[in-house]
Chains A and B, each alone.
Chain A
Amino acid sequence: MKNLMFNILLVTTGVCTNLVADDHGTLTFQQANEVGRAKSRFLKGVDVEEKGTEAIPEANVADYQASVGAILNKNCLACHGPEKSEGRLRVDELNSDLLTGPDVERWREVYNVISNSEMPPDDEPDYALADADRGNMVDWLSAELNKASLVRRNTQEHSSFRRLTKYEYNYALQDLLGLPYALANKLPPETVSEDGFKNSSELLQMSIMQFENYREIGLQALKRATVSGQRPEAVTYILSAQEEMEKLTAGDNAKTFDTKDESNRKQRKQQYLLNRETGKGIPFSGGKVMPRPEAIVGLSPAVSPVVHILHRNNELKLDLDRFLPDEGILRVRIRAGRSTMNPDEYASLRLIFSAHTSNNANFSQAISEHDIPVTASSDNPEFIHFDIPLSDIQRNPFRKLTTTFPRRDEFLHIRNVSNAPGGEEALQVLIDTIEISAPFYEQWPPKSHTDIFFASDNKSDEAVYGREVLNRFLKRVWRRPVGSQELDQFMALFVKYRPEFSTFEDAMLEVLATTLATPEFLYLIQRTTTGETQDPTGPTKISELEFASRLSVFLWSSIPDDELLQVAEQGTIRNPEVLTAQIERMLADPRSRRFSQNFVQQWLGLDALNNLTHVSDDSLKEAMQEEPIAFFDEVLRHNHSIMDFIHSDYAMVNERLAAHYGIPKVYGPQFRKVSIEPQTNRGGLLTGAGVLAMNSDGKDSHPLKRGVWMLKRILHDPPPPPPPNVPEVDLTDPEILKMTLKERIADHRNKAACVSCHSRIDPWGIAFESYDAMGTYRTHVKNEPVDATSELFNKQTLAGMDGLKRYLLTDRQDQIARAMVHKMTAYALGRPLSFGDSADIDNLTGQFMRNGAGLGDLIHLIIRSNIFNSK
C-alpha cells in the first residue's frame, strides 16, 4: 500500500513537471529526438568546409575600444598610468589583443583584482567602479582570457607518440605473459588532462622513478610467469561434510538434532551439517582442518547425502593453521547447490582471509575478486572454484614463528552472499565437499612458462635456443619483426650474464626483463622512415604495424595479439573487409570491456566517486561506478544512438541500484537492461546516481558542479576556471541562510564579478535539482517543493531534468555528437586535439550523424578515419 501511494505521488509530480511551459513540453522524448535530428546541420548533406567549424577565435578589440578602455582610463589610470604606475602597471600600455599580444599575464592580474573587487581600493571613492562597469570589464576579460588560453592550447600540435599509461602497461604485461594479476600497482597514478583523459601524450612523463619501477616490475612479472625445477608438492586440505558428520557424531555427547522436528528451529537457524537422507543435523560452522599429504585434487567423488548448510550472509570459517605456502595459486574448489531455485533469488560465494595479529586486533580481507554465483540445484550440485595468488594477499606474517604467540594460524572464510529473505523455506547453499590446494598448477610447467621457454630441438644449444627464445619474445614485446642485429645486441647481454647464473633460464630472464624496459615496449611508436609511400599533400600515414598497436591500445588498452600482428605484417590490415572483421573480432573479445571501462571512467570523470564519503554503502558505490560503464557497453554492443546517453527508456541496473532507483523486481548483483517507466525519472547518463552523487557537496546537490560537469563532459564546452580567491558563500550570514539554494545561487550570480560565468553554468545545474546528493529523486527539499526550473542565458526555459533532456535532444544534437566524436577521437589517439584537427572531427561527426549516430559505427568510423591512420 505504501508503495502504491508513493507511486501515485510520483506520477502526479511527473505530470506537473510536464505541464510547466516550455517550447517542447508536449513532445515525447522520442519526438524530441526526431525533431532535433531533423535540425542537424550535419544531415543537410553539405560536406563540411575544409577548415572545420571550430574557427580559431579572434580577439574582441572592438569592445575594448567601445567601453573597457574608457572604464580603465576613468577608474584606473590615475594610479596605473603615466603619472603614477603602482605595481609597475600602466593600463594605458596594455595591449588590448590578448590572443596575440604580449600582455596576457598582466591582464589576468587585472581580471583577478577586478573580479574580486580588490580594485579600485575602497579608500579611493573617487575611482569607485560602478557595478555595470565592473560587470562589463569582467565579461570582456573573462571571454578574452578564455579565448587566449584556448588558442594557446589548441594551436599547439600534439603527437600520438607516447608511453603507455599505467593501466595499459599492466594489461600489456598481463597479455604478454599470460598472468591475470595486477602487476603494475607500484607505478604512480597518471595525470589527468583537461579533457579528463589519462592517456594524453603531453602528460605521460618519464622519470627515473618510473623507469626503475618498470625494470623491477618487468623482472618480477617474468619470475612469476616462469618456474624452475620439479613441480612443487601441493599442500591440500579436504573438507568432506560426510566425514565431519562422522567425526562429530562419533562421541557420546553428540549434539545431533532432528531437523524435521519443529522444536529444533533454533538449531536450524545456525550453520549445521545435514544428512539429507535421515534428516539428522548437527551444529557446525567450520574449525580446524589439517593438510592431507596423500590427497588427490580435482576429482568428482559421488555426491554425499551429508551437506553443510550455509545460510545467507553466514560464513564457514576454516582454520588452515600455518601450512599454506608463501606463493603460487591457492585453488579453492567447492561443490555447492541451492536449496531452492527461485530465479529472483541468488546465492553466491565469497572467500575471505583473516588472521589474529594481536589479542585485540585482527585483519580480514575479501580475497576473491568476484562473488561466484551458485546456480546448480542441491540435487545436482556442481563444483565452483576460485584461484587466488597467495603472494598478492595479506598473509599472517607470524605464521613462521617458533613460538605460539602471536597466533600463527590463518583462516579461510566461505561466505554466502545472497539477496534471499530469511524464513523457513529460505534459500541456502548446500556444500558437500571443499578442496583447498596450493600451489595449484593447471599443468607443469605452466603455460606461461612454456610460452617463453618453448619446446625446441635446439634446446641443448644455448646460443641457438637463446636466439629463438629472444626472437619470439621480442617480437611480441615490440609488436614487430625483429632484425638480426637487434637480436645480436641482446644475445651479447645474455652471454655476459650467463656465467653469473646457474641455469640458462635465470640468465635469460634478466635479458628478457631488459627488453621490457625498452622504449619500444613502453611507448607507442610512430617512425618517420618506414618506407611508406608518402602523400606530400596530406599527413603521413603510420605503418601497418604501428596501426595495429594503435588499434589494440584503443580497443583493448593493450598490445596486439598474434592474429592482429599477422594481418599487419602481411599488409592486409587496412583492407576494408579485413579491418571490419578485425574490429568486430576485437569488440567481441572480452578484452574490449577494458575500452568501455577506461574510456567511460575518464570521459565522465568517475574517479571522483572514489573520494566520496557520503556514500557509505560499498555495494551502492560500486553499482554507481559500474552503471555508466554498463550503459555505455550496452549502447556500444547494440549500436544504439548516442542520444540514448541523453535519454533512454531503459536502464542498466543490478539489484542494489534498482532498489536505489525504486525499480522493482531486479534481483542479483549482475547488471542487466530493464525497461523503465517515466515516473522512475531515470534513463540516460545524466540521471545516473553516480554522476549525481559525485557532483554534490556531500550533503546536498551541487548545481554548479553538475552544470560544469554537463558542459565539460557532455557538451564539450568547458567554462573558464573560476578566478582565484572566489569568496565563499557566507553561511554565517542569516540573510543568506534564509534563502533556498536556488536563491543563494542567484544571489551569488548577481554579483557583477560572477554573473558572466555563472549565468552560463548555473541554469544547467539547477535543472538537476530534483536529485539529491545520493542521486535519489525528490520532490521536496526541506519541506519546500523542489524548484528545478531555470532559464538558460539564451532565454530558453529548462523545466527540470525532463525539460533539460528535451532541450538537449531538440536543440543540441549536433553539439552532443561532435562532443562525443571529439572525446573518443582524443582518447583513441592518446593526444589532445588541436584547431588543426577540427575539419577531421567535423567530417567524422557528419558521417556519424548521417549513419544514425550509432556508437558501434563511431568506433569503425574513427578507426578508418584519416586522423586515426596518420601520424
Chain B
Amino acid sequence: MNNKSASLNRRTFLHGTGLALALPWFESFAAASPNPDETPKRFVSVYHPDGVGLPLKSDPAWKDWSWFPRGGEEDFELTKVLDVLEPLRSDITIYSGLSHPASRRVHGHSNADQYLTGAATGGHGPYANSISLDQVYAEHAGNLTRHASLVMSTNGGVGGPRGAQTQSFNREGRPIPAMNKPKQIFDMLFVTSSKDAAARLARSKSALDLLIENTRSLGRQLSSRDQETLKQYLDAVRDTEVKLAKAQRWIDTPVPEVDTRNLHLDAEPKEARLYFQTMYELIYLSFLSDSTRVATFQLGRENGEGPHDLLSQAVGLGGAHGLTHDVKAPDGWKNLGTYNRYQAEEFGRFAQRLKETPEPTGKGNMLDNTLAMHGSASSSFHLSRNYPIISAGGSNFGFTNGRYLKFGKGNEDNQAGAGIVTDAGWQGNVEVEELPLAKLFVTILQRLGVETDSFAGETGTLSRV
C-alpha cells in the first residue's frame, strides 16, 4: 500500500469526502462552545442551473408560465410555476432584480461558480474564485457541530472552472468537493467514525506536546519581553490542542440515530423523485440531529449532460438543459415551467417538513430557525441577470415572509431579456438597474450572527428584507 496517499493530510482527506469536519479555520474559536439550550440558526442554499422561463408579455404563455409572480409586495399572485408553494405563502419570500454585478455579461453556463461567491469568475482566461456565503457562515458556526458544513450536488466533485459542480468555496476560493451519493452521505453523517482520523489526532497530540516542551525550554533563554512574544506562539499551540480535544470528543461521541424511513439510499438521479427526496431528507436529518447547520445542494451543472439532465424525467420530460433551448417549440414554455415547478415542489416539500417539525429546543419549528434559499444565477436564456430566488423560513432571526420583493429599477415586470433564445441576450448591455445580490448575503450573514458589513466587495445590507 502506498502510504503517501493513505496519509493525505487531514483537510485534504476531509474535503475529499465532501464534509468538512468540525475543524474550520476559526480564530475566536475558544469563545464559541456549543450550548445545548441555544436554538441553532441554519442555512441551506439550493442551486439549480439553466435559469427559468421568462416569456414576453405578448406571448400567450406569459400568464401561466412566467416564473416571477405578478402583483405587489404582499398581494402577489403566483403563476403555475410556483403555485405549488401557495400553501407555504406566508413562509416564503420571492426576490427579483438581484444579481452579481461582475457577471452580468457573462454566459449563464459559466455562472454556477459565482452564485454564492459573487466573484468575478468571468467566461474565459485565468480563473479565481472567493469564499462562498455558506462557508462564511460555516467558519462562524461550523465548530458547534460535528460537521462544519454539508456540501452536496447531483453530479458530485468540484467540476471545473466555470463548470462548477459544487456551490461551496473555501476562504482561498478553492472549491469544496460535493457529495452526490446518498449512501455515502448517510454513512458519513450517521454511521462511520474514522479510525484514521483518531490515529491522526493522536499523532498531532504527541507533536503538540513536544512543541510545548520545546517552546518552554526556549522561553527560559529569552528576555522577559521576548517571552511575551513567544507566549502568543504557545497560546496558538494550546488553542490547537483544545481544538483537537474537541475533534476527539466528536470521534468519541456516538453518531446520532435517525429515522431512516424516508430514505432511499440507493436512489440515483435517473429516479429523480426518489433521489431528490432522499437528498433533501438527508439535509433535513442532518439539521434535525444538529450534525451540521450549513448545507448546499446543487442540482446538476450548467450546460446539461450528466445526472442533472435526468432530473426532468421526474415530470416526464427530456433533458433538463434542452428545455431552456426549446422554449419557442410547441409547449416549450410550459415544459420548462413544469420542470421549474417540480423543483419548487421538492423545495416546498423540504420546507414543509422543517415547518412541521418542532424545534428540539422548543423555540418554534425548524423552519423558523432555518433560512433556506433556492435559486439560479440566470433567469432568461443564458442571461446572468435578475436571478430567480426564493427564500423560506428564518422568521426567528429576522426574516418577514409572505412577500414578493422587487429590487432595482426599470424592470418591475421582469421583461428585460424576456423571451430571448439567442446569445444577443446575455451579451447585450445592461439597461435596467439591478442591485448586488451580495447585499442580500450581508443581510443573511448578519441575521445568522456573523459580524460583517460586506461580502464580495459589496458593503451594506438590502433594505426591506
Q: Mark B291-306, 1 if CB is under 8 A from A, else 0.
A: 0000000000111011
Most B C-beta atoms less than 10 A away, residue of A205, A212, A355, A361: A361
Specify the main secondary structure of chain A where it touches its partner: mixed
Q: Are B123 and A361 in contact, with the CB atoms below 8 A? A: yes
**B244 to A: closest C-beta gap in Å:** 10
**B274 to A: closest C-beta gap in Å:** 23
**A543 to B: closest C-beta gap in Å:** 11
User: Is residue B191 contacting chain A, with contact meaning CB distance below 8 A?
Assistant: no
Picked from A162, A201, A522, A871, the residue with its CB within 8 Å of the CB of B223 is A871
- With a CB–CB cut-off of 8 A, which chain B residues contact A162? 229
Most A C-beta atoms less than 10 A away, residue of B125, B161, B225, B235: B161
Picked from A206, A208, A357, A493, the residue with its CB within 8 Å of the CB of B162 is A357
Q: Are B222 and A527 in contact, with the CB atoms below 8 A? A: yes
Measured between alpha carbons, how far is A501 from B1 in the docked complex, in Å? 10
Picked from A358, A398, A528, the residue with its CB within 8 Å of the CB of B302 is A358
Asked, given contacts A361-B109, A518-B214, whether A529 binds B240 with beta carbons under 8 Å apart, the answer is no
Q: Are A398 and B225 in contact, with the CB atoms below 8 A? A: no
Q: Are A360 and B109 in contact, with the CB atoms below 8 A? A: yes
Measured between alpha carbons, how far is A273 from B299 in the docked complex, in Å? 48
Stretch in A61-69, A502-510, A811-819 touching the partner:
A502-510
- With a CB–CB cut-off of 8 A, which chain A residues contact B235? 206
User: Is residue A302 contacting chain B, with contact meaning CB distance below 8 A?
Assistant: no
Measured between alpha carbons, how far is A506 from B5 in the docked complex, in Å? 11
Most B C-beta atoms less than 10 A away, residue of A210, A211, A216, A489: A211
**A743 to B: closest C-beta gap in Å:** 33
Name the residue of chain B whose CB is nearest to the CB of A486: B214
Picked from A215, A397, A519, the residue with its CB within 8 Å of the CB of B159 is A397
- With a CB–CB cut-off of 8 A, which chain B residues contact A570? none
Most A C-beta atoms less than 10 A away, residue of B10, B214, B230: B214
Q: Are A365 and B126 in contact, with the CB atoms below 8 A? A: yes
Stretch in B204-212, B343-351, B443-451 touching the partner:
B204-212
Q: Are B160 and A357 in contact, with the CB atoms below 8 A? A: yes
Most B C-beta atoms less than 10 A away, residue of A207, A365, A394, A493: A207
Q: Mark A173-207, 1 if CB is under 8 A from B, else 0.
A: 00000000000011000000000000001000111
Asked, given contacts A207-B236, A363-B126, whether A501 binds B3 with beta carbons under 8 Å apart, the answer is yes
Measured between alpha carbons, how far is A555 from B123 in the docked complex, in Å? 43
Name the residue of chain B whose CB is nearest to the CB of A158: B225
Q: Mark A408-425, 1 if CB is under 8 A from B, else 0.
A: 000000000000000000
Size of chain B's interface in residues, with CB distance under 8 A?
Answer: 59
Asked, given contacts A205-B232, A216-B11, A518-B214, whether A360 binds B303 with beta carbons under 8 Å apart, the answer is yes
- With a CB–CB cut-off of 8 A, which chain A residues contact B215? 518-519
- With a CB–CB cut-off of 8 A, which chain A residues contact B160? 355, 357-358, 363, 396-398, 406
Q: Are A208 and B305 in contact, with the CB atoms below 8 A? A: no
- With a CB–CB cut-off of 8 A, which chain B residues contact A406? 160, 163, 303, 305
Name the residue of chain A whose CB is nearest to the CB of B177: A397
**B321 to A: closest C-beta gap in Å:** 10
User: Is residue A209 contacting chain B, with contact meaning CB distance below 8 A?
Assistant: yes
User: Is residue B253 contacting chain A, with contact meaning CB distance below 8 A?
Assistant: no
User: Is residue A645 contacting chain B, with contact meaning CB distance below 8 A?
Assistant: no
Near B by CB (< 8 A), chain A positions 149-166 give 157, 159, 161-163
Measured between alpha carbons, how far is A519 from B239 in the docked complex, in Å? 16
Near B by CB (< 8 A), chain A positions 213-235 give 215-216, 219-220, 223, 228-229
Q: Are A208 and B29 in contact, with the CB atoms below 8 A? A: yes
- With a CB–CB cut-off of 8 A, which chain A residues contact B163? 357-358, 361, 398, 406
Q: Mark B219-257, 1 if CB is under 8 A from A, else 0.
A: 001110110011011011101100100000000000000
User: Is residue B158 contacting chain A, with contact meaning CB distance below 8 A?
Assistant: yes
User: Is residue A514 contacting chain B, with contact meaning CB distance below 8 A?
Assistant: yes
Q: Mark B134-175, 1 if CB is under 8 A from A, else 0.
A: 000000000000000000000001111111000000001000
Measured between alpha carbons, how far is A469 from B158 in the docked complex, in Å? 39
Q: Are A359 and B109 in contact, with the CB atoms below 8 A? A: yes
Picked from A358, A506, A517, the residue with its CB within 8 Å of the CB of B7 is A506
Q: Mark A856-871, 1 if CB is under 8 A from B, else 0.
A: 0000000000000001
User: Is residue B48 contacting chain A, with contact meaning CB distance below 8 A?
Assistant: no
User: Is residue B213 contacting chain A, with contact meaning CB distance below 8 A?
Assistant: yes
Picked from B4, B127, B225, B240, the residue with its CB within 8 Å of the CB of A363 is B127
**B131 to A: closest C-beta gap in Å:** 13
Picked from B10, B222, B237, the residue with its CB within 8 Å of the CB of A211 is B237
Q: Are A210 and B236 in contact, with the CB atoms below 8 A? A: yes
User: Is residue B2 contacting chain A, with contact meaning CB distance below 8 A?
Assistant: yes
User: Is residue A460 contacting chain B, with contact meaning CB distance below 8 A?
Assistant: no
Q: Are A359 and B229 in contact, with the CB atoms below 8 A? A: no
Name the residue of chain A whose CB is nearest to the CB of B238: A208
- With a CB–CB cut-off of 8 A, which chain A residues contact B303? 358-361, 406
**A528 to B: closest C-beta gap in Å:** 5
**B136 to A: closest C-beta gap in Å:** 15
Q: Are A528 and B11 in contact, with the CB atoms below 8 A? A: no
Size of chain A's interface in residues, with CB distance under 8 A?
Answer: 68
User: Is residue A403 contacting chain B, with contact meaning CB distance below 8 A?
Assistant: yes
Q: Are B236 and A208 in contact, with the CB atoms below 8 A? A: yes
Measured between alpha carbons, how far is A405 from B300 in the docked complex, in Å? 13
Near B by CB (< 8 A), chain A positions 387-401 give 394, 396-398
Measured between alpha carbons, how far is A163 from B10 in the docked complex, in Å? 25
Name the residue of chain B whose CB is nearest to the CB of A507: B3
- With a CB–CB cut-off of 8 A, which chain A residues contact B162? 357-358, 361-363
User: Is residue B42 contacting chain A, with contact meaning CB distance below 8 A?
Assistant: no
Name the residue of chain B whose CB is nearest to the CB of A157: B225
**B438 to A: closest C-beta gap in Å:** 19
Picked from A229, A405, A490, the residue with its CB within 8 Å of the CB of B2 is A229
- With a CB–CB cut-off of 8 A, which chain B residues contact A208? 27, 29, 236, 239-240, 243
- With a CB–CB cut-off of 8 A, which chain B residues contact A256? none
**A146 to B: closest C-beta gap in Å:** 27
User: Is residue A323 contacting chain B, with contact meaning CB distance below 8 A?
Assistant: no
Measured between alpha carbons, how far is A497 from B235 in the docked complex, in Å? 25
Name the residue of chain A whose CB is nearest to the CB of B426: A360
User: Is residue A496 contacting chain B, with contact meaning CB distance below 8 A?
Assistant: yes
Measured between alpha carbons, how far is A497 from B107 in the docked complex, in Å? 52
User: Is residue A523 contacting chain B, with contact meaning CB distance below 8 A?
Assistant: yes
Q: Are A394 and B240 in contact, with the CB atoms below 8 A? A: no
- With a CB–CB cut-off of 8 A, which chain A residues contact B107? 360-361
Q: Are A519 and B127 in contact, with the CB atoms below 8 A? A: no
- With a CB–CB cut-off of 8 A, which chain A residues contact B110? 358, 360-361
Q: Are B4 and A206 in contact, with the CB atoms below 8 A? A: no
User: Is residue B203 contacting chain A, with contact meaning CB distance below 8 A?
Assistant: yes
Q: Mark A83-102, 1 if CB is under 8 A from B, else 0.
A: 00000000000000000000
User: Is residue A267 contacting chain B, with contact meaning CB distance below 8 A?
Assistant: no
Measured between alpha carbons, how far is A492 from B1 in the docked complex, in Å? 26
Picked from B10, B25, B123, B302, the residue with its CB within 8 Å of the CB of A209 is B25
Q: Which residues of B are interface residues toward A (Cβ below 8 A)?
A: 1-4, 7, 9-11, 25-27, 29, 107, 109-110, 123-127, 157-163, 172, 199, 203, 206-207, 210-211, 213-215, 218, 221-223, 225-226, 229-230, 232-233, 235-237, 239-240, 243, 301-303, 305-306, 382
Instruction: Given contacts A220-B9, A403-B305, A526-B226, list 17 more A-B pairs with CB under 8 A.
Output: A159-B225, A161-B230, A163-B233, A205-B232, A208-B243, A357-B161, A358-B109, A358-B303, A360-B109, A397-B158, A397-B159, A489-B210, A492-B210, A503-B3, A520-B218, A526-B223, A527-B222
Q: Which residues of A are interface residues toward B (Cβ below 8 A)?
A: 157, 159, 161-163, 185-186, 201, 205-212, 215-216, 219-220, 223, 228-229, 355, 357-366, 394, 396-398, 403, 405-406, 486, 489-490, 492-493, 496-497, 500-503, 506, 510, 514, 517-520, 522-523, 525-530, 871
Q: Which 6 A-B pairs have the closest CB atoms?
A: A357-B163, A361-B162, A357-B160, A211-B236, A208-B239, A161-B226
- Pairs across A and B, CB under 8 Å, 23 listed: A159-B223, A159-B226, A161-B225, A161-B226, A209-B25, A209-B27, A216-B9, A228-B3, A228-B4, A358-B303, A361-B161, A361-B303, A362-B162, A365-B126, A398-B160, A405-B305, A406-B305, A503-B3, A517-B207, A519-B214, A523-B233, A527-B221, A871-B223
